[in-house]
Structure 1
Amino acid sequence: MLIEIPNVFTKEEVANIRAQLDAQPWIDGNQTSGEMAATRKRNQQLDKDNPVALDIGQRVMDRLLANPLFVSAALPLQFYPPLFNRYEGGETFGYHIDNAIRSTADGLVRTDLSTTLFLSEPDSYAGGELVIQDTFGTQAVKLAAGSAILYPSTSLHQVTPVTSGERTAAFMWLQSMVRDEGQRRILFQLDQSIQALTATAAAPQEIFNLTGVYHNLLRRWSEL
């Protein structure tokens, strides 16, 4: 299930973020690569301990956790903190699957879901599509600056070569309260239906009943 999270940041906020990121020293992107991914990856990245990157990464997490659509789709339990990468001059990241487990200062994170937050406008660079092989086929994603895409970390995906301009993005992984993708999909669809019924002033008792079903399913399927 691929979910677009539009307008996580405004254009003005993105411009401010980019000004801070662009002023930092960029290093070889293979700092976070596994052994196999490193053979397919050519890009630049900010050091994971860069204080500016850490501060902006916290802003990204805070903004996503305040976004109802993101929370409904991801049911986030814990994050691997956001990282920042840049592609230019033909740089690319060939098809790969993200590592299943990531280590943080607070322990291990199982990577159930991946998120890319685009920080470059799509018409400012050529190439650079995030191509994801999903059960419904292959999808190419290139969103407006400030918008994000949420997708299963189990997906085979790539970033196509950036042949002109520059593609900057934040990327992160998270562990969901619900491990199973099919169960998350059911909960997301049910939650979206409840919200739609609420917006149309449907019968309160029916909304109440469906909300109870949602929470009982979440109780049954969550790993807390």
Structure 2
Amino acid sequence: MLLHIPQVLSKQHVAEIRQQLQAAPWQAGAQTAGAQAAKVKHNLQLSQNLAIAQQLAQQVKEALLAHPLFVSAVLPKQLLLPLFNCYQHGGHFGNHVDGAIQYEALTRLPVRTDVSTTVFLSEPEDYEGGELVVEDTYGSHEVKLAAGDAIVYPASSLHRVEPVIEGQRFAAFLWSQSLVKDNSQRQLLFDLDMTIIRLRQQLQDSPDILALTNHYHNLLRQWAE
């Protein structure tokens, strides 16, 4: 499931985050990548050990968890703290797949990466290039969203960030372990949830709506870990 989550962060909040990111100390992103990804990772990244990185990460995490569309699509069980990157001067990240297991920064507990999320922190007109390209069974999908918007997609997807020719592309990114491991099951639950919401707007809490809601929760109860 590739899903656009609009307005995770307000424009004012994005501007405040950007101001702090501009003044932060950046390091080569390849330092935080595995052996294979490091060969194709050419960007800048904030160290998780920085107090400012942890503070901003918590803000982004809370904003995502407060967004009903994100919660419905991801069904998060565990969210890793977001990381921050910057692409400029031709920076890019070649085709790669995210590691299946990541470790929570503070507790070092393992988290299975079911869903990847990118929150865009630069407006599309602020930079040239820099599209996130996600490949799945239906082809390649280019993503370049408004600042404050997010995209979620299966962490198992092959993906890349195209070179940023001009300007700067700032983003936050993170991984989530879902209550429902299987992507197709999460997709079915999300579609059913969205259908229930639309029908409720038309029919209120009719017996049919209550029956569909019951089906949703029974499926979630069956599939959730």
Instruction: Give the aligned partner of residue 83 of structure 1.
Output: 83
Instruction: Give the aligned partner of residue 59 of structure 1.
Output: 59
* Cα distance per residue 1:111-146 (max 9 Å; x no partner): 000000000000110000000002221000000000
Q: 2:202 aligns with which of 200, 203, 222?
A: 200
* Cα distance per residue 1:40-70 (max 9 Å; x no partner): 0000011111111111111111111111100
Instruction: Give the aligned partner of residue 70 of structure 2.
Output: 70
| Unaligned runs of at least 5 residues, structure 2 | none
The one-letter amino acid of 1:19's match is Q
Residues 1:116 and 2:126 aligned together: no
1:173-192 matches, within 5 Å, as: 173-192=175-194
Q: Could you tell me how far apart the structure 1 residues matched to 2:91 and 2:154 are?
A: 24
Instruction: Give the aligned partner of residue 214 of structure 2.
Output: 212
Q: Could you tell me how far apart the structure 2 residues matched to 1:212 and 1:137 are?
A: 35
Instruction: Give the aligned partner of residue 138 of structure 2.
Output: 136
3-state SS in 2 of match to 1:81: coil
How much identity, in percent, do the aligned residues show?
53
Higher strand content, 1 or 2: 1
Cα displacement (A) at 1:103: 1.1
Cα displacement (A) at 1:202: 4.7
Cα displacement (A) at 1:32: 2.4
1:15-34 matches, within 5 Å, as: 15-34=15-34
| Cα RMSD, aligned residues only | 0.9
Instruction: Give the aligned partner of residue 170 of structure 1.
Output: 172
Residues 1:146 and 2:110 aligned together: no
Q: Could you tell me how far apart the structure 1 residues matched to 2:7 and 2:68 are?
A: 12
| Unaligned runs of at least 5 residues, structure 1 | none
Q: Once superposed, which parts of structure 1, at least 4 consecutive aligned residues long, lie more than 3 Å away?
A: none
Instruction: Give the aligned partner of residue 159 of structure 1.
Output: 161
Cα displacement (A) at 1:7: 0.7
The one-letter amino acid of 1:45's match is Q
Q: Could you tell me how far apart the structure 2 residues matched to 1:182 and 1:8 are?
A: 24
Q: Could you tell me how far apart the structure 2 residues matched to 1:95 and 1:38 are?
A: 11
Does the 8 Å CA contact 2:30/2:39 hold for their aligned counterparts? no
Residues 1:96 and 2:99 aligned together: no
Q: Could you tell me how far apart the structure 2 residues matched to 1:32 and 1:94 are?
A: 15
The one-letter amino acid of 1:208's match is L
Cα displacement (A) at 1:201: 2.5
The one-letter amino acid of 2:89's match is G
Instruction: Give the aligned partner of residue 12 of structure 2.
Output: 12
Cα displacement (A) at 1:203: 5.6
The one-letter amino acid of 1:25's match is P
3-state SS in 1 of match to 2:98: coil
Q: Could you tell me how far apart the structure 1 residues matched to 2:217 and 2:131 are?
A: 37
Q: Give the TM-score, by structure 2 length.
A: 0.97
